[in-house]
Structure 1
């Protein structure tokens, strides 16, 4: 009978559209400087794509991260969390989301919650974030003599929350001491404790413990009888102790300096990352629809659906028009002489390629030519040695954080820039600057590697990426190039084989 009632109650909840929000454990632990992940989900499984998902601090209005209407709302965040959170939505259709909070600080400790809101129902879950930091190993130093006793100092830095400090004697019993605890600008605690040692004391230990997180570090010291006997070495020993203390102070100062420097570098890196993402989103507001011109493709390059380039081991029969490239290249039917234009190209795992723009009147019959602005090319590419590069006009080696397989290209004709974005991590790879003059065409160059290692290169619709973008520009194709005369431009004497 109880089983039947349970099934009926569960069915009633499912039909009525009610569900339960389950969050992390009541206590989530994280270390200073590391990342924390909070996972929340709906039970039973219910899609949350159309819901409002909110992570908050202490109260509902204190927004840590907000998702609604199918997108993240960063403008609603509290300032302290901006640029530090990312909502992982891979399983949002199952009602599961996770929030990654980067670079945990002591001030992040406290009560958090997550909520799911539909048009008819609302539920939330709460938990406590406990932050800790394990300080440095205690440094024990000799301060000098006080009334026939030796004064010892034990110090450590970088603790959170406030730790307890203890001196212990040879039998492990606690010794009374004078301790000081100070909080630095980062909210971490520095501790220092002093102890007077009598002649009968030999083995000592200084331990510092974070009781809440069960973290403990300890240093031991052994004091010989010679410390308590008058000796001509007494003054040098004291001097040596003072020198050691000064050296320790210098080391601690350097550690604090490098810690602050590292934090500054990380903040600068986060700012650059956010700036690159903003530039990419602005660029995607100017999408353009491109098609490839088969009449310009080299005989080994097969053009299908006017968007896909495939390398053929056996060249196909083509008409040798003057506008056809002889160096494994092809250009788009569209050309640009003004405005802003953005397009994306999927290069996959190909071993060698170049993407960008070139002047419409470049010399196309030359097999070896340097793809530099001097010769009318503005490109980014990868050679067969797996090295990424650009030319401006000399070769510039580039080192993307993640190898790009999907590249975004943004041309600002009047602004005189062409930028290349790594769609894999939404980062800016490189920007070339030039005062453009003349018609520019999107350009693709293919550098095949070993047989069987090459795949197709595809011009992707911008709408296949993430996010809502601007209206797609339909750029008319240029007039029939057969009616134009060949260019009289002469290539540079300094050439670079394209198939490296």
Structure 2
């Protein structure tokens, strides 16, 4: 090969590398505020969001959503050059708009009018362009300046007068401070009480004892997010304070002493009377024999209960072996995995990646939701598989029909032919139209899924002890696939090999292999 041919070859390789580097560079990014947006009730909030570079590309879709709800709700949708109000949540209709004159410079901030307490939460600014989605989180804090405090005299208390301060219409929870003219330190209020009214606003009240010689007292109320405060002042002349006679004080001391003596005598009399009654309550020989017979009957009942418990444990073990006897080998189908999800070479492990991967176009691949399905489907019989989830904070898992949408948003519920449970922080939920929180704490690190196609049953277990979590009853008319959703954390989800209940002591080794740790380090995982 001559020198000229080698030179042209190197030039072509360099051009191709530059092309791939440019193609891998994201077209745009999103940036949000550094701190939460603070807005007053009934005021206007501007949820800041900016495109980088500062330019709105043709065909971009802007979507504002509430991200702190169990199901993300659409707050504002901008598509094809105008707002689409049909998909907006009813609570936000007519109250949101974009700054249309600044869209050309990439300002996609949202103006929210008529701010309500229910508007407080986390919002998501999402921009989609040519199947690339970028987003930025925008938290909103709502506050309300309450009414000026009202002061009233409650009456005499010890050597002073009790003054009460009340204020309403605050949000979030305010603080109340008593101050005195001419003193750096304030007064210690007693019995500070807070409550919320039907509209969600806080009311606060406190009392303080004002003694003679204080010129004036102020009651100050302040909310944490506000620099403003509400203040009221009261002045009580010295003529209003009581004057106690020394003879009255001596009489009160004598009266207290007399009450102490009477109280002590009453206790002594009660104690003597109780001792006398106990002598009459001692059991006779016949009662003693009756008690001994009752103890013998209780011991016999306890022995029978132990036998029944052992029998019940044996039956539970047999039932668990029947479930595990239906075990099948499940693997992830990489052709269905969302481009944000990465499937291992052995198709046993899946995890979330923050970068969108350019994968082969496939009509079975999920692009709207972070889903992946199993390779094999089931049309009859019983099947059982186990999935290691560890301490992953959020996930969805279950079964579904193959005809669910791949490129549109779909809600996980039986109505959409999807039967699954979900973990949301410390609780499990049954995935329905309205997610149903479950009582069992979300502590299982391995989840077992049992499918009976003939009976239309889907059951979920804590695979470490086969404790039942939740069951669905359904009528299956199509083939059924396992499906998984690891959500946005980068902890892995891994298919496990089911173990017999008699081999439960080997579970730590299996957990360690799922995490890629030596067996002697697995105790920390179990704890």
Task: State whether TM-score is above 0.5.
Answer: no
Greater share of residues in strand: 1
Decide which structure has the larger Cα Rg and report it.
2
Larger RCO: Structure 1 or Structure 2 (Cα < 8 Å, ≥ 6 residues apart)?
A: 1
TM-score of the aligned structures, taking structure 2 as reference length: 0.39
Greater share of residues in helix: 2
